[in-house]
Structure 1
């Protein structure tokens, strides 16, 4: 019985530099993309021609539904609307309004009041409500600027609206 001679050749692996490896992977990827493109063409050949894809635009801004005012008195209604304005438009400190449209307590009240006198009366009631819990509050702007978030500002607008309503204002 004769057997074929076996040779044990040891081949040393060829080390490719980075550019050669990238070229090889690039060629493989080009082939895969070409095959995928052909598969896509075949899979979609039966579909009728579609309109071009329209340009994507940002969705319209969603404005929350207006909150019905639970108060019948004008000052309480003004304070309620100021609260809604702060919730939807944003709250700020250090100025009446900022560039994005956020307002401080005074700015929101002035924006929602029908007259300057109504705004002044609403601010008086708000300061009374704040001073019930913060006796050291000198003014609404100074108290507003000491707050870290709109949470207390919104709470005290609610309390002031309830107070104005109980006073019949």
Structure 2
């Protein structure tokens, strides 16, 4: 009589608990997400991007109208602060003193807010140029050149620098 060998019947694996199933699903999803992240990096490596300077973002209050801040106590700082507020509310332009919509360049905003006080205007323009040179070195010979170098942009950088110049003048108590 032929000899047959019987193999033992496999016993079923014990059922996984809920925590064990969740841990297994978490491990599987983590592996899939890691694989997708690598695929994304590989697929987008050829796309050039420029980093965003968060300081360039102009933030506005959630109120319907933009209210001017409390004025600086010193004349040059207050002038630069008013000019900054004028650009935020009235618009910025480059390549000319004022555009057809009433937007002003940096110099136009300072001159308008100086109200014919040439001494105050010149002091404000000096502080503005100092603020520009602190960030950009000697690349620009004047605030007007800096303003016009940003033609074609949305004006965030020039407007931000005008606000920084107001703070600089306040720190210098002028």
Moved over 3 A (4+): none
Post-superposition offset of 1:153 = 1.1
Give the alignment partner of residue 121 of structure 1, picking from 110, 120, 123: 123
Post-superposition offset of 1:65 = 4.8
SS of corresponding position for 2:123? helix
TM-superposition CA deviations, 1:114-146 (whole Å, max 9, x none): 411111110000000000111111111111111
Give the alignment partner of residue 157 of structure 1, picking from 157, 162, 168: 162
SS of corresponding position for 1:68? coil
Q: Which residue of 2 is the match for residue 93 of structure 1?
A: 94
CA distance in 2, matches of 1:74, 1:68: 15
User: Bigger radius of gyration, 1 or 2?
Assistant: 1
Q: Which residue of 2 is the match for residue 102 of structure 1?
A: 103
Give the alignment partner of residue 166 of structure 1, picking from 153, 165, 171: 171
Aligned residue pair count: 107
- Runs (5+) with no aligned partner, structure 2: 1-63
TM-score, with structure 2 as normaliser:
0.58
Q: Which residue of 2 is the match for residue 146 of structure 1?
A: 149
TM-score, with structure 1 as normaliser:
0.60
CA RMSD of aligned residues (A): 1.4
TM-superposition CA deviations, 1:20-66 (whole Å, max 9, x none): xxxxxxxxxxxxxxxxxxxxxxxxxxxxxxxxxxxxxxxxxxx8253
